[in-house]
Amino acid sequence: AEQHKYIGIVEDCCCDYETVNRLNTEVLHPLLQDLVKTPFYRYFKVKLWCDCPFWPDDGMCRLRDCSVCECPESEFPEPFKKPLSQYNPVCQEGKPQAAVDRTLDTRAFRGWTVTDNPWTSDDETDNDDMTYVNLRLNPERYTGYIGPSARRIWDAIYSENCPKYTSAESCQEEKILYKLVSGLHSSISVHIASDYLLDEATNLWGQNLTLLYDRVLRYPDRVQNLYFTYLFVLRAVTKAEDYLGEAEYETGNVIEDLKTKSLVKQLVSDPKTKAACPVPFDEAKLWKGQRGPELKQQIQKQFRNISAIMDCVGCEKCRLWGKLQILGLGTALKILFTVNGEENLRHNLELQRNEVIALMNLLNRLSESVKFVHDMSPAAERIVGGQ
């Protein structure tokens, strides 16, 4: 019954809800689901030891000692080799579902250079603190990370970096930053609702449609921002069509790597998507006014702050996905805003392997969220209406 709220063009985008749902269900979601399983896309390199610059007092950073690592000891990152008992770890989030399962990838990825992303705070240069995480073993789902620590992160992100705009006083660009963060927040909530620990005693996992309704569906702007963020990232991926289509996806597994390349090509140049939603988001209309360059720098700084805040997320798996998705958004921003003009993009765009992995995995997460919201809204609203 509530579906009527989502008719017409997604605000600030160029496609309507119906088209997005159809393209997502028929084309993009199935392709992305296959793509993120390929060897190239399933490993993410990340520094999970947090170095929280904002609240050094609160003990969250001791989490490195609370992680569960299931790989053989010989593969442990150096810091793990110290006996755990020596630390007497006090976990804030000791639940196993909050810990990251590190599976190190021994294969080399070739053909990718290290470049900086001006939108994010992380130094992506390889170092000993980086570890490879198999994303398929660590789905983004309910972890039990709730309470003041989680709330403080979201509050910091919203109040310090992108206060909710009022159309009178906030410009288009700031509004977009807010919508991207809100859309990502919606998506995280949707994943919590779609994979929830229903009964701790029996370890029963399943969907929590009441939570879906309470956190997302009952606020139409949160749903709208989810669709907006999805289209924004989709635009970045299709804009980088040439780059992504020609990139090197070599991991040493010839058959899988060919499949990866073919899936990427299908995704970035799908004729149905091009026909139905040729420009999912029109970035050309931004940064136009006199304050354009200054505004871009300011928003870039705000986004870098958001990226730094991810180091303070006090649950390891949440931090993993937080970092991945913020890097994915930063990569979308880099593609859309760092290089001007289509021609320049072809020659000047340089992405890091990790950025590309983050970008596609983010798009997949958003695509899953859009699908879950679309498929489950009627049932969720029936449940809540019947209470």
Give the binding range for ligand FAD (CB under 6 A) out of 75-83, 108-116, 317-325, 332-340: 317-325
CB of 373 to ligand FAD, least distance (A): 12
Give the binding range for ligand FAD (CB under 6 A) out of 25-33, 185-193, 274-282, 363-371: 185-193
CB of 223 to ligand FAD, least distance (A): 9
Rounded Cα–Cα distance for residues 362 and 326 (Å) = 9
Rounded Cα–Cα distance for residues 152 and 147 (Å) = 9
Which residues is 9 bridged to in the sheet? 16
Nearer Cβ to ligand FAD (44/142): 142
Radius of gyration of the chain (CA): 20
Q: Using the Cα atoms of residue 266, residue 272, residue 275 and residue 281 in order, give the sign of their dihedral.
A: negative
Antiparallel, parallel or unpaired: β 130-134 and 204-206: unpaired
For residue 137, state whether it binds ligand FAD (rule: CB under 6 A): no
Q: Which two tokens stand for residue 376?
A: 């489950």
Q: If we measure between CA atoms, which residue out of 323, 305, 310 comes closest to residue 150?
A: 310
CB of 324 to ligand FAD, least distance (A): 10
Q: Which two tokens stand for residue 362?
A: 């983010």
For residue 179, state whether it binds ligand FAD (rule: CB under 6 A): no
Q: If we measure between CA atoms, which residue out of 11, 45, 35, 51 comes closest to residue 223?
A: 11
Nearer Cβ to ligand FAD (151/346): 151
For residue 182, state whether it binds ligand FAD (rule: CB under 6 A): yes
For residue 143, state whether it binds ligand FAD (rule: CB under 6 A): yes
Which residues is 131 bridged to in the sheet? 46
Rounded Cα–Cα distance for residues 278 and 234 (Å) = 10
CB of 327 to ligand FAD, least distance (A): 12
Give the binding range for ligand FAD (CB under 6 A) out of 11-19, 183-191, 252-260, 352-360: 183-191
For residue 223, state whether it binds ligand FAD (rule: CB under 6 A): no
CB of 347 to ligand FAD, least distance (A): 35
For residue 359, state whether it binds ligand FAD (rule: CB under 6 A): no
Give the binding range for ligand FAD (CB under 6 A) out of 145-153, 244-252, 339-347, 352-360: 145-153
- Is the distance from CB of 55 to CB of 71 less than 8 angstroms? no
CB of 152 to ligand FAD, least distance (A): 9
For residue 188, state whether it binds ligand FAD (rule: CB under 6 A): yes
List Cβ neighbours of 138 (8 Å cut-off, separation of 6 or more). Answer: 100, 101, 317, 320, 321
Q: Which two tokens stand for residue 24?
A: 């997502």
Among 105, 122, 124, 140, binds ligand FAD (CB under 6 A): 140
For residue 44, state whether it binds ligand FAD (rule: CB under 6 A): no
Classify the phi-psi angles of 48: left when phi > 0, otherwise alpha if psi is within -120 to 50, otherwise beta.
Answer: alpha
For residue 151, state whether it binds ligand FAD (rule: CB under 6 A): yes
Binding positions for ligand FAD, rule: CB under 6 A:
140, 142-143, 145-146, 150-151, 153-154, 182, 185-186, 188-189, 192, 215, 222, 313, 317-318, 321-322
